[in-house]
């Protein structure tokens, strides 16, 4: 990066250094890209992260085990269920707490709803970055309904703080199951409409197909996860391959990029994988609601002032932005010795520098949007 | 203690009435002014008929010329500005319907006064000129844009006799003055001394200059068919019924309309060609550094241009102001022998104006729909579309029309037959479009509902 800035002084070529961000409409938060362009064509785009660093991992060492839960919401506030789930799962593995089956189902339901909401934001903002404003608001409209449902479930619309070590905070409110099933019926139709509105739009397809192709090998090498990895044709989903919680019980497909409109691993594959995933999530929520077992929602006897034996544990959950890992280390006190969150957006930022040369400025916007990076998740 | 000025609190009914009065009154007043002024303010006519002198010998004729010109210019610029504001309101209402949101609803009933509020707000903003900008060019750029826009109204027809100046090079003049807009945009892009503005300016220059070529060739098709460049002449060469319109009497003209429409979208920087100000790529393109009134001028021109685009399309391809059953002899008969035309003639003028405005508004509405439906193209795709598809297609349409005109001269019935066939095809397409829309809405579990405007 310093090299780029220094070159600005003594260059006598046709290139231009451009600060793409941190206050740019399509960087999806406070991210900066230092972009070297020759006219409209990029030579290179170097991501500059860290504008949104809030020391969340350090906070985890200061608060108690339970007290860290609300802070995990802020790791990814577009889909706050997943850091909740990841952290809770890690601490449960560390302490050996058994989560009741009903609580596991509720976790799956809330997480899959959050995944749909997150993908709606992602796809909507992506279409807005490509220049179509209407699909974004249609996505936001559906997300509102999900927000209403989750608000009825846990009282919050953005930072949910719903999961607990050993279970979840609240049981389903009355009539929630019917409301959710009605929403899912509507939502399955909406997905078809959304495809017709934007996914198969000729201009949209041409803007995304064959743009910024990331091969499967590159995706694995750079540590891409989730829809970004699957968009490159790598068939890996933690929910299916390393099942946790209640995911054993559900039948769902894992959409993998297959060059829907162009090459495997282009922006369109990443986009369309998310579209298909929303349908699968809808299936999971429906199954979970119909098979929901009765019982407790919290494990018995989880101490308020939890003291954990020295040790360490790792949890891996499939977040909306891909595999999210929580690594917790305990030293026998009532506070964590170390909490570490591994998030998908951070690694996704890493590949932009190598994927960007030769793209145009408009393609860089599409690439950033298709990787679905969320600023707080990059920096934590 | 600072006192906030108190606005009179109106009852909801009064708000609705006020909105209706202004919402209908403003356009009615504007069109009334066009109706009365444009025939009466033809200087020679005015001097002879109203003042009773011979313009060739009367010494004060030039004074009247100047005065009348100023009056017409004032009226037409106001027309452009107010129509542009009302287009903003219409566009926002339509887009909010398309996007399941409420949209403008604060100032006046249905938010009709929002465009006035926005304009007033922009007037009071600081007119900021960046320290590193080229001040003179930065200040001058909006006026180029404004000039290019305002000059178009000189040759824009509103009705049978309602045109400021029926130039014999009308359409040529229009393409020439609208090209002035790009000078302003390029100046804005360069003088802002911002990289985003520069990108926007360069994109706009490339885009507008490129798309003027297919637009220019496409509009030669109706010119060939009517044998004149004059806007009124082109309309007079068409009939009132759809099968007599240029767009339907010649298959190549229908194609030419599509090419012309696309090119006009690109020239007006409208989606899917809004690359120069693509907010998700270039922040705001050439507008990035502008604020206050200068910014308002750009927006005025951008939205006012929609009217210009739509009116030119209606003139060239859709029969302009032609009223069914009212031929030139009817106008002549209604005019009477007096110096000032008889009342019936004014009624006919009003009728022709209503037809023209209705056609313009329909085309304008399509432009609005397109904007809120399509994503944006990339710059290389935009250039490819222009040079690889639009320019060759426009040439083919042009050459086809040359041959077609020879054919029609031999067999005049051909034009009528094509007209009927193409009109039928157009109607069938419209019906199919409507049914598809209805089916799509039903498939999403919704229904057509026009009640909650």
- Predicted pLDDT at A120: 92
**What mean pLDDT comes out for the span B210-218?**
89
pLDDT tens for A65-85 read 888 888 888 888 888 888 988
Confidence class of residue A6 from pLDDT cuts 50, 70 and 90? very low
**Residues of chain A numbered 164-223 and touching chain B (CB < 8 Å):** 185-186, 189-190, 192-193, 196, 198, 201, 203-204, 206-207
**What mean pLDDT comes out for the span B94-123?**
83
- Predicted pLDDT at B50: 66
In this structure, are residues A347 and A222 in contact, taking their beta carbons and an 8 Å threshold?
A: yes
Residue B414 has pLDDT above 60, yes or no: yes
Residue B70 has pLDDT above 70, yes or no: yes
Identify any residues that bridge with A325 across adjacent strands, giving them in sequence order: A316, A342
Chain centre distance of CA B246: 19
Distance from CA of B447 to the nearest CA of A (A): 13
Q: What angle do CA B61, B67, B71 make, to 5 degrees?
A: 145
Nearest Cα to A317, choosing from A104, A137, A34, A142? A104
pLDDT tens for A55-67 read 888 888 888 888 8
pLDDT tens for A106-131 read 889 999 999 999 999 989 888 888 88
Identify any residues that bridge with A41 across adjacent strands, giving them in sequence order: A38, A360
Count of beta carbons in the 10 Å neighbourhood of residue A356: 22
Confidence class of residue B28 from pLDDT cuts 50, 70 and 90? confident
pTM: 0.84
Residue B111 has pLDDT above 70, yes or no: yes
Distance separating alpha carbons of residues A122 and A128, to the nearest angstrom: 10
- Predicted pLDDT at A65: 86
- Predicted pLDDT at B396: 92
The answer to whether A207 contacts B379, with C-beta atoms less than 8 Å apart, is no
B90: left (phi over 0), alpha (psi -120 to 50) or beta: alpha
Q: Residue A168 corresponds to which tokens in the numbers above?
A: 């979840």
Count of beta carbons in the 10 Å neighbourhood of residue A162: 25
Asked if this assembly's ipTM is beyond 0.95, the reply is no
Residue B327 has pLDDT above 60, yes or no: yes
Residue A2 has pLDDT above 70, yes or no: no
In this structure, are residues B306 and B367 in contact, taking their beta carbons and an 8 Å threshold?
A: yes
Query: Residues B357-388, buried b or exposed e (16+ Cβ, 10 A)?
Result: bebbbebbbebbeebbbbbbbbbebbeebbee
**What mean pLDDT comes out for the span A295-301?**
82
The answer to whether A362 contacts B445, with C-beta atoms less than 8 Å apart, is no
Which of B100, B202, B206, B280 best tests the A interface by mutation, with the highest count of A CBs <10 A? B280
Confidence class of residue B428 from pLDDT cuts 50, 70 and 90? very high
Residue A9 has pLDDT above 50, yes or no: no
Residue B381 has pLDDT above 60, yes or no: yes
Q: Choose the weakest-confidence range: A124-133, A245-254, A295-304, B218-227.
A: A295-304
Distance from CA of B344 to the nearest CA of A (A): 48
Query: Residues A285-310, buried b or exposed e (16+ Cβ, 10 A)?
Result: bbbbbeebeeeebbbeebeeebebee
Pairing of strands A41-48, A163-164: unpaired
Distance separating alpha carbons of residues B154 and A127, to the nearest angstrom: 40
**What mean pLDDT comes out for the span B100-106?**
81
- Predicted pLDDT at A51: 83
CA atoms within 13 A on the CB side of B411: 10
- Average pLDDT of chain B is 83
The answer to whether A207 contacts B195, with C-beta atoms less than 8 Å apart, is no
Q: Which of A131, A201, A203 is nearest residue B274 as measured by Cβ atoms? A: A131
Distance separating alpha carbons of residues B136 and A278, to the nearest angstrom: 54
Distance separating alpha carbons of residues B183 and B185, to the nearest angstrom: 5
CA atoms within 13 A on the CB side of B8: 5
DSSP-derived 3-state class of residue B257: helix
CA-to-CA separations, A363 to A207, B189, B242, B281, in angstroms, rounded: 8, 22, 44, 9
Residues 6+ apart with CB under 8 A from B442: none
Query: Residues B313-348, buried b or exposed e (16+ Cβ, 10 A)?
Result: bbbbbbbbbbbeebeeeebeebbeeeeebeeebbeb
Chain A hits for B274, CB-CB cut-off 8 Å, are 131
The answer to whether B374 contacts A207, with C-beta atoms less than 8 Å apart, is no
Nearest Cα to B276, choosing from B200, B207, B210? B200
Distance separating alpha carbons of residues B72 and B40, to the nearest angstrom: 10
Distance from CA of A138 to the nearest CA of B (A): 6
Q: Residue B118 corresponds to which tokens in the numbers above?
A: 């926005």
pLDDT tens for A217-234 read 888 888 888 888 888 888
Distance from CA of A1 to the nearest CA of B (A): 20
Q: Residue A94 corresponds to which tokens in the numbers above?
A: 């560390």
Question: Which one is the CATH code of A56-370: 1.10.645.10, 3.20.20.70, 1.10.357.10, 3.40.980.10?
Answer: 1.10.645.10
- Predicted pLDDT at A12: 59
pLDDT tens for A82-108 read 898 889 999 888 888 888 888 889 889
Chain A hits for B275, CB-CB cut-off 8 Å, are 362
In this structure, are residues A86 and A317 in contact, taking their beta carbons and an 8 Å threshold?
A: yes
Residues 6+ apart with CB under 8 A from B334: B341, B342, B344, B345, B347, B348
Phi and psi (nearest 5°) for A335?
A: -130, 155
Q: Residue A18 corresponds to which tokens in the numbers above?
A: 């451009």
Q: Which of B99, B380, B445 is nearest residue A186 as measured by Cβ atoms? A: B445
**Higher pLDDT, residue B426 or B109:** B426
Most confident of A23-27, B79-83, B432-436: B432-436
Sign of CA dihedral B85, B273, A273, A158: negative
Tokens 């001394």 belong to residue: B193
The string of DSSP letters for B391-444 reads: HHHHHHHHHHHHHHHHHHHH-THHHHHHHHHHHHHHHHHHHHHHHHHHHHHHHT
Residue B5 has pLDDT above 50, yes or no: yes
Distance separating alpha carbons of residues A368 and B364, to the nearest angstrom: 35
Residues 6+ apart with CB under 8 A from B404: B250, B251, B252
Chain A hits for B100, CB-CB cut-off 8 Å, are 137-138, 141
Confidence class of residue A4 from pLDDT cuts 50, 70 and 90? low
Residue B108 has pLDDT above 50, yes or no: yes
Nearest Cα to A236, choosing from A218, A257, A222, A250? A257
Q: Residue A307 corresponds to which tokens in the numbers above?
A: 């003291």
CA atoms within 13 A on the CB side of B198: 11
**Higher pLDDT, residue B151 or A49:** B151
Cβ-based interface (< 8 Å): residues of B facing A: 95, 98-101, 195, 199, 203, 271-272, 274-275, 278-283, 372-381, 440, 443-445
Residue B128 has pLDDT above 70, yes or no: yes
Residue limits of CATH 1.10.645.10 in chain A: 56-370
Count of beta carbons in the 10 Å neighbourhood of residue B441: 14
Which of B196, B197, B375 best tests the A interface by mutation, with the highest count of A CBs <10 A? B375
pLDDT tens for B250-301 read 888 888 999 999 998 888 888 788 877 766 677 777 888 888 888 888 888 8
């Amino acid at each position: 990066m310093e090299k780029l800035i220094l070159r600005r002084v003594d260059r006598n070529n046709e290139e231009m250094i451009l600060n793409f961000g941190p206050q740019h409409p399509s960087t999806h938060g406070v991210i900066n890209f230092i972009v070297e362009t020759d006219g409209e064509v990029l030579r290179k785009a170097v991501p500059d992260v860290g504008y949104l660093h809030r020391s969340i991992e350090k906070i985890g060492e200061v608060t108690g085990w339970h007290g860290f839960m609300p802070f995990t919401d802020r790791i990814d506030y577009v889909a706050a269920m997943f850091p909740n789930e990841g952290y809770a799962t890690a601490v449960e593995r560390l302490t050996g707490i058994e989560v009741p089956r009903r609580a596991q189902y509720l976790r799956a339901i809330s997480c899959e709803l959050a995944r749909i909401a997150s993908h709606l934001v992602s796809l909507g903002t992506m279409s807005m970055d490509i220049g179509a404003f209407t699909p974004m608001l249609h996505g936001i409209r559906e997300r509102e309904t999900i927000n209403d449902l989750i608000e009825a479930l846990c009282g919050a619309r953005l930072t949910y703080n719903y999961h607990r070590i050993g279970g979840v905070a609240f049981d389903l409110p009355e009539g929630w199951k019917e409301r959710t099933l009605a929403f899912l019926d509507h939502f399955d139709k909406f997905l078809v409409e959304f495809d017709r509105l934007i996914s198969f739009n000729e201009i949209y397809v041409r803007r995304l197909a064959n743009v910024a192709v990331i091969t499967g090998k590159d995706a694995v090498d750079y540590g891409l996860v989730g829809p970004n990895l699957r968009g490159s044709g790598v068939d890996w989903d933690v929910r299916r391959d390393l099942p946790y919680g209640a995911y054993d019980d559900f039948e769902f497909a894992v959409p993998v990029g297959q060059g829907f409109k162009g090459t495997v691993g282009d922006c369109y594959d990443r986009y369309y994988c998310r579209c298909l995933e929303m349908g699968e999530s809808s299936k999971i929520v429906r199954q979970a609601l119909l098979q929901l077992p009765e019982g407790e929602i919290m494990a018995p006897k989880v101490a308020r002032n939890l003291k954990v034996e020295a040790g360490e544990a790792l949890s891996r959950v499939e977040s909306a932005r891909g595999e999210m890992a929580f690594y917790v280390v305990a030293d026998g006190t009532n506070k964590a010795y170390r909490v570490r969150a591994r998030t998908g957006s951070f690694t996704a930022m890493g590949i932009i520098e190598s994927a960007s040369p030769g793209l145009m400025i408009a393609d860089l916007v599409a690439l950033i949007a298709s990787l679905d990076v969320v600023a707080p998740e990059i920096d934590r | 203690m600072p006192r906030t000025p108190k606005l009179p609190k109106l009852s909801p009914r009064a708000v609705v009435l006020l909105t209706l009065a202004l919402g209908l009154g403003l356009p009615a007043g504007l069109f009334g002014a066009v109706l009365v002024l444009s025939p009466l303010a033809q200087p020679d006519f005015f001097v002879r008929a109203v003042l009773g002198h011979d313009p060739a010998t009367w010494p004060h004729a030039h004074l009247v010329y100047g005065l009348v010109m100023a009056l017409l210019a004032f009226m037409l610029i106001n027309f452009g500005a107010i129509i542009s504001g009302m287009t903003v309101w219409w566009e926002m209402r339509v887009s909010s319907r398309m996007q399941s949101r409420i949209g403008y609803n604060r100032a006046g009933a249905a938010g009709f006064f929002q465009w006035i509020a926005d304009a007033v707000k922009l007037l009071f903003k600081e007119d900021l000129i960046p320290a590193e900008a080229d001040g003179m060019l930065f200040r001058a750029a909006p006026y180029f844009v404004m000039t290019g826009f305002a000059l178009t109204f000189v040759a824009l027809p509103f009705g049978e006799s309602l045109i400021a100046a029926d130039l014999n090079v009308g359409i040529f003049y229009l393409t020439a003055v609208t090209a002035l807009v790009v000078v302003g945009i390029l100046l804005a892009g360069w003088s802002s001394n911002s990289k985003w503005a520069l990108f926007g300016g360069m994109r706009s220059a490339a885009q507008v200059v490129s798309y003027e070529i297919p637009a220019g060739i496409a509009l030669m098709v109706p010119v060939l068919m009517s044998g004149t460049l004059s806007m009124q002449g082109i309309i007079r060469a068409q009939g009132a019924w759809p099968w007599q319109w240029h767009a339907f009497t010649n298959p190549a003209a229908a194609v030419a309309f599509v090419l012309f429409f696309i090119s006009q979208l690109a020239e007006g920087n409208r989606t899917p060609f809004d690359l120069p100000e693509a907010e998700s790529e270039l922040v705001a393109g050439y507008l990035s550094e502008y604020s206050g009134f200068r910014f308002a001028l750009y927006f005025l021109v951008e939205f006012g241009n929609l009217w210009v685009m739509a009116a030119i399309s209606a003139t060239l391809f859709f029969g302009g102001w032609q009223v069914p059953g009212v031929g030139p002899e009817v106008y002549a008969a209604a005019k009477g022998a007096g110096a000032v035309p008889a009342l019936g003639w004014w009624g006919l003028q009003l009728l022709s104006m209503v037809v023209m405005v209705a056609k313009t508004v329909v085309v304008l509405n399509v432009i609005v729909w397109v904007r809120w439906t399509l994503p944006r193209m990339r710059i290389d795709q935009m250039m490819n579309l222009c040079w690889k598809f639009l320019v060759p297609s426009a040439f083919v349409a042009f050459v086809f029309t040359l041959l077609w005109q020879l054919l029609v001269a031999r067999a005049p019935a051909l034009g009528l037959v094509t007209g009927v066939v193409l009109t039928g095809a157009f109607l069938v397409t419209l019906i199919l479009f409507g049914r598809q829309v209805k089916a799509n809405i039903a498939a999403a579990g919704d229904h057509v509902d026009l009640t909650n405007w």
